[in-house]
Amino acid sequence: MAPAVAGGSSRGAGCKCGFQVCVCSGSAAVASAGSSLEVERAMAVTPVEGQAAPVDGESWVGVELGPDGVETDESGAGVDDRPVFKTEKIKGVLLHPYRVLIFVRLIAFTLFVIWRISHKNPDTMWLWVTSICGEFWFGFSWLLDQLPKLNPINRIPDLAVLRQRFDRADGTSTLPGLDIFVTTADPIKEPILSTANSVLSILAADYPVDRNTCYISDDSGMLMTYEAMAESAKFATLWVPFCRKHGIEPRGPESYFELKSHPYMGRAHDEFVNDRRRVRKEYDDFKAKINSLETDIQQRNDLHNAAVPQNGDGIPRPTWMADGVQWQGTWVEPSANHRKGDHAGIVLVLIDHPSHDRLPGAPASADNALDFSGVDTRLPMLVYMSREKRPGHNHQKKAGAMNALTRASALLSNAPFILNLDCDHYINNSQALRAGICFMVGRDSDTVAFVQFPQRFEGVDPTDLYANHNRIFFDGTLRALDGMQGPIYVGTGCLFRRITVYGFDPPRINVGGPCFPALGGLFAKTKYEKPSMEMTMARANQAVVPAMAKGKHGFLPLPKKTYGKSDKFVDTIPRASHPSPYAAEGIRVVDSGAETLAEAVKVTGSAFEQKTGWGSELGWVYDTVTEDVVTGYRMHIKGWRSRYCSIYPHAFIGTAPINLTERLFQVLRWSTGSLEIFFSKNNPLFGSTYLHPLQRVAYINITTYPFTAIFLIFYTTVPALSFVTGHFIVQRPTTMFYVYLGIVLATLLIIAVLEVKWAGVTVFEWFRNGQFWMTASCSAYLAAVCQVLTKVIFRRDISFKLTSKLPAGDEKKDPYADLYVVRWTPLMITPIIIIFVNIIGSAVAFAKVLDGEWTHWLKVAGGVFFNFWVLFHLYPFAKGLLGKHGKTPVVVLVWWAFTFVITAVLYINIPHIHGGGGKHSVGHGMHHGKKFDGYYLWP
Ligand SMILES: O=c1ccn([C@@H]2O[C@H](COP(=O)(O)OP(=O)(O)O[C@H]3O[C@H](CO)[C@@H](O)[C@H](O)[C@H]3O)[C@@H](O)[C@H]2O)c(=O)[nH]1
Ligand SMILES: [Mn+2]
């Protein structure tokens, strides 16, 4: 097979797990991955104290800060010089061989291609030409994937230092404000209980409550979502103080109560057990309420609407809120102005701004069973929002929701930082928010646009059949990019700097990675300016940042009209980088009065963005099926940097589609989105020179990887067909050919082993990554290439559906039932063809040897081995295709063996194929009876 390939670690191909247990025990890891989540949670009792990400500690060594490495705090004054995060690089014993091998492989590969070009195959020129093109592409894409990994960096937040610098003795804190956006689009397809859990985990996270606001955006506009959030707000008054009192981890109740053991903080064990029993009972009630919401709302409506005639009379039957008011959004019985895609905007405050001072709870009493005396009972602000939807408007999916959230939140809380979580992701580590903030307030951090966390998933089958955990991508590629300009933005679990979202330039440019300042300086503009005195003073005084309009690389706001017609909103922009929502002690500069709420509804209106810069110059980027990568790209080309934050226990955990069809569709969407960027004005080849050179390479990689499909289809079919046709890619290999090939393959493996070592993943995951890479290439990537080319040529739009978070099988009996549900999609056609071609190819070869037609069985074995290599990669796919039968792996093998035997028997026994006049005697390469000396290239 194309020697350059090892399963690219692009986003689509890959696996996303990340369990400490895997990392420590190395080998037996994967089998226990499912249950290791339990272990992990049990270990989560003690909140992390700057605990390292789950990488192999032996592989990394601290980077020493130079004399300039003194930190300044948010006021710019060098108050405390201890850094809020530590930086590590890979130990020399790993790093040097790693880099040398990459170089060696590059040379060997070049020599290999030169050999191939100079050894023409006159028999079948088309094979020769196409295969060389393929090899060239594989080598090139390997390089694109490998080069940005030359300088991996590991950063570890130091929460103890953060605490000392920002938290005061009286329990208040000067940490910067943080707005958290949760996006949801359907209370059924995205189970509402899971969304409620995410919100509860956010409300209970460890962050100064008066500086933290949670926004839930509901693109369905349904009352059910709103009421589930109202219930959550109610339950939070118990859940949150309970978490604080006993140091509960994780703080999503569902995952907490699922734990087999319930460790506790502090000494009051009996009290803890009693409290937990109480809360558990309340949680069960809460769950029951959430689960009956649909019928409750229905019943309430029936009661209210009893007077209205029942059948098809065209009289609208409204949906009623609990307080007897008509719901503004989507009605249960949809009518004009009240259906999905056609309803008014809604902004409702469920929990208002908390007080600035602590609010200790009451001791246990008759109507209050839990003793919360001494526990702060304040809750962060919680806002429900559903933007206006109108027919004929393109609402731009998640990107549109995020932009609406950005504007509404500016009016209500205007925090300088924004964290986005998809509705199925909850906070698994209560310190996650603080950990992310470390990278925003540390040394040089004012040029950091966003902090991307790895995406971790639960509910993935223990062997991670379709590489859902994507660990090679997260722990390898994204971490490595931290050593360049920073990780690519890949969606949920990302913390943003608000002014970056507003399209501002960074205060200065310093994109050269610590290891390649020279290289960075050579190709990229690495102008370094110390923050001006004015800016420093402004921050120190906690006043409006006056430097915003200044300087080429100072904050450069876009023209006012770019932001839309809301003076109130535009007025918030100068304070957008202000760390505190308080002007003077205790006086909030933002309010949630009726006027502000009305303005918030206005700025989320569907016409608001017309003739503004939203979706192009600022905010999340529009007109693409994946808004994430391109939004981050537009920040990087301005010279902003990003950071990767991988903490342990995992910061956030979500759900992943373990069903083959769902997974293929997800990857189809991602790869289509990637190609769209390539064919747009955001093609990374033309991005500004502020882009770090190797960062550019990484972007070229992530916007071109689906093209691999074209070449891989060739390489997974033609060699197998060679056994039938007798035309081979390489006719007479020489010793040097084998030497080059050997080096190319050996270095591939050693590089992988080193990479797996520093990334802290397992070799098994590396194989899974490769397997899914091939499956995706033959199906989703190929479809993506076709789709995008159609879009580019015929200007046809591409539509996509939500990734399902609903388990399709019976969850009670088997948590992974969804894995075995087969839903047919045309995406499956190519991998099926490839499987058959490879089985048939090797069967024919086998038959030819048996038959005495070919005598060099050893040479044939090489080719057959390659066919098996392809089959090995497509094995998970075949397993999934068999559905329930695939549960027994033998079935796959039996199915394959059966096809093999049938083909071989048929070949030997049917003279029509076997004898002269068959296909294989047509070419000049090999004739019946002629000694087999053509040899298929790839062992
Ligand atoms: O009209 C819409 C459609 C989607 N969403 C939300 O967008 C998020 C992501 O959608 P999902 O279908 O779950 O996509 P995934 O493939 O699971 O998500 C990954 O890929 C997306 C880009 O394709 C990123 O936006 C996500 O953050 C990333 O986790 C979910 O919270 C949705 O509720 C909306 O708010 N409005
Ligand atoms: Mn999702």
DSSP 644-689: E---SS-SEEEE---SHHHHHHHHHHHHHHHHHHHTSTT-GGGS-T
Q: Among 459, 473, 464, 476, which Cα is nearest to 768's?
A: 464
Distance CA 939, CA 928 (A): 24
- Write out the E strands in 813-865: none
Residues 290-320 pLDDT 10s = 999 999 999 999 998 887 766 666 788 899 9
Residue 357 confidence class, pLDDT cut points 50, 70, 90:
confident
Residue 534 has pLDDT above 80, yes or no: no
% of the chain residues with pLDDT over 90: 61
**What is the whole-number distance in angstroms between the Cα of residue 188 and the centre of ligand 1?**
15
Domain boundary among 755, 777, 807: 807
Q: Is the CB of 387 under 6 A from ligand 1?
A: no
Q: Is the CB of 628 under 6 A from ligand 1?
A: yes
* 765 annotated to a ligand binding site: no
Q: Are residues 795 and 843 in the same domain?
A: no
Q: Are residues 802 and 722 in the same domain?
A: yes
Ligand 1 nearest-atom number relative to CA 424 = 31
Q: Is the CB of 626 under 6 A from ligand 1?
A: yes
Q: Is 372 exposed, middle or buried (0-12, 13-18, 19+ CB in 10 A)?
A: buried
Bridge partner residues of 214 (DSSP)? 180, 382
Q: Are residues 342 and 194 in the same domain?
A: yes
Q: Is the CB of 185 under 6 A from ligand 1?
A: yes
Q: Are residues 148 and 281 in the same domain?
A: no
Residue 865 confidence class, pLDDT cut points 50, 70, 90:
confident
Q: Is the CB of 190 under 6 A from ligand 1?
A: yes
428 falls within a domain: yes
**What is the whole-number distance in angstroms between the Cα of residue 821 and the centre of ligand 2?**
19
Residue 770 confidence class, pLDDT cut points 50, 70, 90:
very high
Residues 899-919 pLDDT 10s = 898 888 888 887 655 544 333
* 16 annotated to a ligand binding site: no
CA distances from 863 to 593, 620, 905 (A): 74, 49, 20
User: Lowest mean pLDDT: which of 13-22, 234-243, 511-520?
Assistant: 13-22
pLDDT at 915: 47
935 falls within a domain: no
- ipTM (interface pTM): 0.98
Q: Is the CB of 84 under 6 A from ligand 1?
A: no
What's the average model confidence in pLDDT over 756-782?
95
495 falls within a domain: yes
pLDDT at 812: 60
Q: Are residues 686 and 829 in the same domain?
A: no
pLDDT at 815: 78
Ligand 1 nearest-atom number relative to CA 190 = 33
Which one is catalytic: 145, 219, 464, 482? 219
Residue 111 confidence class, pLDDT cut points 50, 70, 90:
very high
Q: Among 521, 613, 655, 728, which Cα is nearest to 16's?
A: 655
| Cβ 22 vs Cβ 485: under 8 Å | no
- Residue of 402, 422, 631, 662 with the most ligand 1 atoms within 8 Å of its CB, for mutation: 422
Could you tell me the two tokens for 880?
Answer: 């999934």
Q: Is the CB of 342 under 6 A from ligand 1?
A: no
Q: Whose CA is nearest to atom 3 of ligand 1?
A: 397
Domain boundary among 608, 626, 655: 655
Could you tell me the two tokens for 494?
Answer: 């990302």
218 included as an active-site residue: no
User: Lowest mean pLDDT: which of 128-132, 468-472, 527-531, 934-938?
Assistant: 934-938
503 falls within a domain: yes
Across the chain, which distance is largest between two alpha carbons, in Å?
97
Q: Are residues 844 and 734 in the same domain?
A: no
pLDDT at 547: 38
Burial annotation 532-558 (CB, 10 A radius, 16+ → b, else e): beebbebbeeeeebebbeebebbbebe
- Residue of 803, 804, 805, 806 with the most ligand 1 atoms within 8 Å of its CB, for mutation: 803
Residue 53 has pLDDT above 70, yes or no: no
Distance CA 592, CA 642 (A): 32
**What is the whole-number distance in angstroms between the Cα of residue 398 and the centre of ligand 1?**
6
**What is the whole-number distance in angstroms between the Cα of residue 530 and the centre of ligand 1?**
38
Domain boundary among 807, 828, 850: 807
Q: What is the average pLDDT value for the chain, to the nearest integer?
A: 83
Ligand 1 nearest-atom number relative to CA 217 = 35
Q: Is the CB of 802 under 6 A from ligand 1?
A: yes
Ligand 1 nearest-atom number relative to CA 803 = 12
What's the average model confidence in pLDDT over 355-376?
88
Residues 806-818 pLDDT 10s = 766 555 667 788 8
What's the average model confidence in pLDDT over 757-772?
94
791 falls within a domain: yes
Between 405 and 561, where is the model more confident? 405
Bridge partner residues of 181 (DSSP)? 215, 420
Residue 216 has pLDDT above 60, yes or no: yes
What's the average model confidence in pLDDT over 493-506?
94
628 included as an active-site residue: yes
Residue 71 confidence class, pLDDT cut points 50, 70, 90:
very low
Q: Is the CB of 747 under 6 A from ligand 1?
A: no
Which one is catalytic: 179, 206, 376, 628? 628
pLDDT at 579: 85
Distance CA 744, CA 203 (A): 52
Cβ neighbors of 102 (< 8 A, separation 6 or more) are 146, 147, 150, 747, 751
Q: Are residues 248 and 379 in the same domain?
A: yes
CA distances from 558 to 318, 461, 499 (A): 43, 48, 11
Q: Is the CB of 423 under 6 A from ligand 1?
A: yes
Cβ neighbours of 643 (radius 10 Å): 25
Q: Whose CA is nearest to atom 14 of ligand 1?
A: 803
Q: Among 243, 280, 283, which Cα is nearest to 264's?
A: 243
pLDDT at 268: 75
Residues 146-169 pLDDT 10s = 999 999 999 999 999 999 999 998
Residue 687 has pLDDT above 60, yes or no: yes
pLDDT at 630: 97
Distance CA 30, CA 21 (A): 9
* 333 annotated to a ligand binding site: no
pLDDT at 614: 96
Residue 485 confidence class, pLDDT cut points 50, 70, 90:
very high
- What is the layout of strands, in order, in the sheet containing 85-90? 60-62, 85-90, 153-157
pLDDT at 606: 94
| Cβ 173 vs Cβ 452: under 8 Å | no
Q: How many domains does the chain have?
A: 3
pLDDT at 10: 60
Q: Which domain holds residue 775?
A: 20-156+660-807
CA distances from 341 to 228, 599, 780 (A): 21, 21, 29
Q: Tell me the ligand closest to 185's alpha carbon.
A: 1
Q: Is 193 exposed, middle or buried (0-12, 13-18, 19+ CB in 10 A)?
A: middle
Q: Among 774, 808, 779, which Cα is nearest to 658's?
A: 808
Hey, what amino acid is at 147?
L
Q: Are residues 619 and 564 in the same domain?
A: yes
Residue 932 C-alpha from the chain's centroid: 50
Ligand 1 nearest-atom number relative to CA 800 = 12
Q: Is the CB of 219 under 6 A from ligand 1?
A: yes
Distance CA 585, CA 589 (A): 11
**What is the whole-number distance in angstroms between the Cα of residue 339 and the centre of ligand 2?**
24
Q: Tell me the ligand closest to 419's alpha carbon.
A: 1
pLDDT at 851: 81
Q: Whose CA is nearest to atom 20 of ligand 1?
A: 491
Cβ neighbours of 734 (radius 10 Å): 11
Q: Are residues 576 and 683 in the same domain?
A: no
Q: Tell me the ligand closest to 665's alpha carbon.
A: 1
Distance CA 453, CA 449 (A): 13
**What is the whole-number distance in angstroms between the Cα of residue 127 and the centre of ligand 1?**
42
Backbone angles phi, psi at 274, to 5 degrees: -65, -50
Q: Are residues 726 and 651 in the same domain?
A: no
Q: Are residues 523 and 430 in the same domain?
A: yes
pLDDT at 33: 34
* 189 annotated to a ligand binding site: yes
| Cβ 452 vs Cβ 494: under 8 Å | yes
Q: Are residues 623 and 673 in the same domain?
A: no
Residue 39 confidence class, pLDDT cut points 50, 70, 90:
very low
Ligand 1 nearest-atom number relative to CA 625 = 23
Residue 9 confidence class, pLDDT cut points 50, 70, 90:
low
* 422 annotated to a ligand binding site: yes
- Write out the E strands in 467-561: 494-497
167 falls within a domain: no
Residue 541 has pLDDT above 50, yes or no: no
Distance CA 777, CA 421 (A): 29
Between 678 and 719, where is the model more confident? 678
**What is the whole-number distance in angstroms between the Cα of residue 180 and the centre of ligand 1?**
16
- The CATH number of the domain holding residue 620 is 3.90.550.10
Residue 269 has pLDDT above 70, yes or no: yes
Residues 387-419 pLDDT 10s = 999 999 999 999 999 999 999 999 999 999 999
Ligand 1 nearest-atom number relative to CA 184 = 33
Between 367 and 186, where is the model more confident? 186
**What is the whole-number distance in angstroms between the Cα of residue 804 and the centre of ligand 1?**
10
926 falls within a domain: no
Cβ neighbors of 928 (< 8 A, separation 6 or more) are 853, 915, 916, 918, 920, 921
Q: Tell me the ligand closest to 398's alpha carbon.
A: 1
pLDDT at 862: 80
pLDDT at 777: 96
Between 723 and 385, where is the model more confident? 385
* 287 annotated to a ligand binding site: no
CA angle 763, 769, 773 (to 5 degrees): 150
Q: Among 593, 495, 600, which Cα is nearest to 178's?
A: 495
**What is the whole-number distance in angstroms between the Cα of residue 579 and the centre of ligand 2?**
30
Could you tell me the two tokens for 888?
Answer: 């027994």
Residue 552 confidence class, pLDDT cut points 50, 70, 90:
very low
310 falls within a domain: no
pLDDT at 37: 40
